[in-house]
């Protein structure tokens, strides 16, 4: 049976950048110890021959090929831009704008 000490809880809180009161340290020591004990129980379960499950609802991703087609919106945007190069908007660089 696992029982976390106050020092261990303080270390975990430090790693998580949490400041805990003395009462919270006691409370979290109990709760975290309970969680670790439950994990120990789960470790004892015989899972030999049990297939891993990715999801239980049977859904899967649907993949499609990406098709790149020139859009009329892109053409409209480019035609209204003050300056373009090939199929791109031409703008001043960040350094040029601020420098």
Domain annotation covers residue 51: no
Domain annotation covers residue 54: no
CA atoms within 13 A on the CB side of 33: 14
Write out pLDDT tens, residues 54-93.
Answer: 888 888 888 988 887 767 788 888 888 888 888 888 887 7
Domain annotation covers residue 23: yes
Residues 6+ apart with CB under 8 A from 32: 4, 9, 12
Write out pLDDT tens, residues 14-61.
Answer: 999 999 999 999 999 999 999 999 999 999 999 999 988 888 888 888
Total domain count, the chain:
1
Domain annotation covers residue 53: no
Domain annotation covers residue 70: no
The CA R_g of the chain, rounded to the nearest whole Å, is: 29
Domain that holds residue 13: 6-43
- CATH no. for residue 27? 1.10.20
Domain annotation covers residue 58: no
Domain annotation covers residue 59: no
């Amino acid at each position: 049976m696992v029982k976390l000490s106050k020092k261990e809880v303080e270390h975990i809180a430090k790693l998580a950048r949490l400041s805990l009161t003395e009462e919270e340290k006691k409370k979290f020591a109990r709760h975290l110890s309970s969680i670790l004990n439950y994990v120990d129980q789960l470790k004892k379960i015989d899972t030999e021959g049990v297939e891993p499950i990715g999801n239980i609802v049977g859904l899967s991703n649907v993949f499609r090929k990406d098709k790149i087609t020139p859009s009329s919106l892109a053409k409209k945007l480019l035609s209204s831009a003050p300056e373009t190069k090939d199929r791109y908007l031409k703008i001043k660089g960040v350094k040029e704008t601020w420098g």
